[in-house]
Amino acid sequence: MFNRVAFITGASRGIGRATALLLCRAGYDIVVASPEVEKNEEVAEAIRACSGKALTANLNLTSLESIKEAFARAYQEMGRVDVLVNNAGITRDGFAMRMKPEDWNLVLQVNLTGAFHCIQQVLHPMMRERYGRIINIASVVGEMGNSSQANYVSSKAGLIGLTKAIAREMGSRGITVNAVAPGFIETDMTRGLPAEIRDKMLAAIPLAHLGKPDDVAAAVKFLASEEAAYITGHVLDVNGGMYM
């Protein structure tokens, strides 16, 4: 009996880290992929402490060569990738009328194009196995929009569209493709927000509190499981009710 292998981008912190540790506890081996080399190793050590196998990858999602190298190493050293979690994402917020082309391009390159290139790396092996789980971490703002985030919103809305397109292409091959759309989650990004902005966010959430990375990780774990074998092309909202 072998352990399933999950390749998680942006696994060095926040939602990615929580997902890596939860999947480890569920019996998965993990590829911890991000450009934060030291933090990758910290997460890998935590995975090994829970008796899982871990591999780190210095992954730059703006470089197709870096992506190819990371997946080639994963297949060489882990033997397989059964679950891909496209979690990595960045923001470069600003009003559309003043948004710099480089800020638009970078966010789309990392959040959407980088995810697509990662998906390309796993499709042929998953097709051979007739098994695979691809889970894209989108965002509530990709569904409802948000001011000052035209680039980020577009990247996450695009990720939802990409999820549905690949789900249709790959359904007959035993590969499911789904998205998780978090709302406002307690991460490094939200912890640094001014109090008045946090209060405004909370007022829009019926459950009246921010989510935790583990809330999103639990949704990923479900979609990666055998219990979710008949779910594909779906967007699972984890947002406390702020968008219905």
- Selection from 61, 55, 1 nearest residue 24 by Cα: 55
CA distance 220 to 198: 26
Which bin fits 79, alpha (ψ -120 to 50), beta or left (φ > 0)?
left
> Which residues, 6 or more positions from 234, have their beta carbon under 8 angstroms from its beta carbon?
178, 179, 223
Residue of 28, 75, 131, 152 with catalytic role: 152
> Which residues, 6 or more positions from 7, have their beta carbon under 8 angstroms from its beta carbon?
30, 31, 33, 71, 74, 81, 83, 84, 85, 118, 122
CA distance 155 to 221: 23
CA distance 37 to 59: 9
152 is annotated as an active-site residue: yes
> Which positions are catalytic?
152
